[in-house]
Structure 1
């Protein structure tokens, strides 16, 4: 069973499939994933349950950028053999991208 793309997670994105916010200059960030043992964070604006893939603003890697990310791949990243590294911030509330105050361009 998926620990990231749970039924609750999928329900959050029912109104936000791929390309639903592509014309927005300030998209709504629906969910946040983070590396519990590192610096990477994914601010997700759209999700496709068919591909189990999200569109997100990614920070904390080589450089910050918008892009697609496979939740299947994120779920496969483990620490100490079977402890998932990537977690969902269950306390995150949807906000406009500009409200994150990341000082980055859309």
Structure 2
């Protein structure tokens, strides 16, 4: 089973925080799950830890962090692609993604990143019954630690 983040894909991705404050950040990769109906549009990636930042559409549409490494682990544990990479997706500005897929995020990329404010608030999962590998914060700052649940298992 091919991984979700190939070397070819990873080499062209900006690191975390590279598009911090961008008015219309570029989206480079689209992941989706036919099992849960969730979508993840990756804008930045840290290959050392397998974590990404981007637009997530699940129970709500919002900017947040997600673990590509956990998605790959989920696929391996199930023996089939619970989460898949959209091979036909071409990089596009977030505004194009929002318009094409009808996404209306509750906050902008800048607000989700806590630009101009830092907090030590602890992360809060999207919902107690979250079916995603995505976490968001109770406040928009990017401090502290967070982990995803990958509760699709």
Q: Smaller-chain TM-score range? A: 0.7 to 0.9
**TM-score scaled by structure 1?**
0.86
Alignment match, 1:3: 3
> Which protein is bigger by CA-based radius of gyration?
2
CA distance in 1 between counterparts of 2:76 and 2:46 reads 26
CA distance in 1 between counterparts of 2:5 and 2:77 reads 22
- Between Structure 1 and Structure 2, the one with more helix by share is 2
CA distance in 1 between counterparts of 2:76 and 2:49 reads 25
CA separation of 1:20/1:33 partners in 2, compared to 1, >3 Å: closer, same or farther?
Answer: same
| Aligned partners of 1:79 and 1:85 also within 8 Å | no
Alignment of 1:38-49 (within 5 A): 38-49=36-47
Are residues 1:85 and 2:82 paired? yes
**TM-score scaled by structure 2?**
0.61
CA distance in 2 between counterparts of 1:2 and 1:83 reads 10
Q: Secondary structure at the match of 1:76?
A: helix
Report Cα offsets for 1:16-48 as digits up to 9, x if no partner.
Answer: 111110110110001100113231000100001
What is the alpha-carbon root mean square deviation over aligned residues?
2.1
| Aligned partners of 2:40 and 2:55 also within 8 Å | yes
| Aligned partners of 2:61 and 2:104 also within 8 Å | no
Aligned counterpart for 1:65 among listed residues 49, 62, 67: 62
- Between Structure 1 and Structure 2, the one with more strand by share is 1
With CA pairs under 8 Å and 6+ residues apart, which has the higher RCO, 1 or 2? Answer: 1
Query: Which 5+ residue runs of structure 2 have no aligned equivalent?
Result: 109-153
